[in-house]
Amino acid sequence: MARRLRESNVGRLFGFELKAAEAGRAVLRMRVASKHKQVHGVVHGGILAAMADTAGGLATYMVVPRGTRVATVEMKINFLEPVDQGTITAEARVLRKGQNFAVVDCEVHDAAGRLAAKALMTFAIGVGETERS
């Protein structure tokens, strides 16, 4: 998983690092850099959302058969605290995995441990795959 994240466009672009991965759970970290900040000097909400989405996707991958595709079909996020420096941590947990969808919760914390964002996502399982007989 760590290699896959490093090789992904989003992982390289934003600097996401995989810190933990197990069945139904993934933890990412990102060191805040100037490229992450919007005009007011805080991390852009889109970066936090991408981090939550990536962590949620990885947590979902950990509960489906190897090679199964997953895709975000819905995401709701609340931005609770501005983040302007330090390391951000996103921890995603699969709340429920069905046959076709998984629901995932993700908390994004700043370096001081404050809850900076909270996301709830739905991932489709097996998107774009064809069944073979």
Position 132 scores a pLDDT of: 47
- Whole-model pTM? 0.91
> Would you say how long the chain is, in residues?
133
Number of compact structural domains in the chain: 1
Nearest CA-CA partner of 90 in 103, 77, 72, 71: 77
Residue 25 lies in a domain: yes
Q: Is the pLDDT score of 116 beyond 70? A: yes
| Alpha helices in the chain, H assignment, sequence order | 2-7, 9-14, 45-61
CA atoms of 32 and 34, how far apart (whole Å)? 7
With cut-offs at 50, 70 and 90, classify the pLDDT of residue 23: very high
CA atoms of 58 and 53, how far apart (whole Å)? 9
Mean pLDDT, rounded, of the chain:
92
Residue 130 lies in a domain: no
Please calculate the CA angle 13-64-28 and round it to the nearest 5 degrees.
30
CATH code, domain with 108? 3.10.129.10
Q: pLDDT tens digit string along 45-96? A: 999 999 999 999 999 999 999 889 999 999 999 999 999 999 999 999 999 9
Residue 131 lies in a domain: no
Domain that holds residue 71: 2-125
Q: Is the pLDDT score of 13 beyond 90? A: no
With beta carbons less than 8 A apart as the criterion, state whether 43 and 90 touch: no
